[in-house]
């Protein structure tokens, strides 16, 4: 989380001038410079800005559904596994991490977006998700 950027956005949203924001910094952390603060201190400043009325706005962007049926199958199986309780985190980021683990187990620096997979790689992910879903259904049935 880039707290510096969020704090600057909050400052603009709350229409705070330079003197008032620095006074807030000193009041909350004892330090007048945002750069000199630790991450924990920046979070404390952000919490204070939220208390004063700052609201985080989400981007609101949603991705259109894929036209490729095997990509839609990955998302449907992921949601099914999440519903069955096989996976704890049903988020999109968790799905990306899962795909990376299936396709590139030893390399944690590779980013894998399931929407960009070709059929061969997607098949490996689908097979793993089908096996997980089957285990989840068997556990629910028993």
* Domain ranges across the chain: 3-51, 69-141
CA triplet 53, 93, 107: central angle to 5 degrees?
135
Please state, in angstroms and rounded to a whole number, the distance separating the CA atoms of residues 78 and 98. Answer: 10
Of all residues in the chain, what percent are helix, strand and coil, respectively (each to 5)? 65, 0, 35
pLDDT tens-place string over residues 101-121: 888 887 777 778 888 889 999
Q: Tell me, what's the pLDDT at 3?
A: 86
Global pTM reads 0.55
Please state, in angstroms and rounded to a whole number, the distance separating the CA atoms of residues 122 and 113. Answer: 10
pLDDT tens-place string over residues 51-84: 999 988 766 666 677 888 999 999 999 999 999 9
Average pLDDT, rounded, for the chain: 88
Please state, in angstroms and rounded to a whole number, the distance separating the CA atoms of residues 27 and 73. Answer: 53
Element (H, E) at 40: helix 39-51
Q: Give 27-34 contacts, CB < 8 A, sequence gap 24+.
A: 34/4, 34/7
């Amino acid at each position: 989380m880039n707290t510096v950027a969020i704090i600057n956005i909050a400052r603009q949203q709350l229409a705070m001038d330079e003197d008032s924001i620095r006074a807030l910094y000193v009041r909350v952390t004892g330090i007048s410079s945002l750069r000199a603060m630790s991450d924990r201190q920046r979070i404390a400043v952000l919490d204070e800005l939220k208390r004063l009325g700052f609201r985080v706005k989400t981007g609101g962007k949603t991705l259109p559904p894929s036209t490729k049926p095997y990509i839609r199958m990955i998302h449907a199986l992921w949601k099914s596994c999440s519903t069955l309780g096989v996976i704890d985190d049903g988020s999109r980021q968790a799905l990306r991490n899962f795909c990376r683990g299936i396709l590139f187990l030893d390399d944690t620096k590779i980013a894998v977006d399931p929407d960009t997979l070709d059929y061969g790689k997607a098949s490996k992910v689908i097979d793993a998700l089908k096996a997980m879903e089957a285990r989840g259904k068997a556990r629910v049935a028993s």
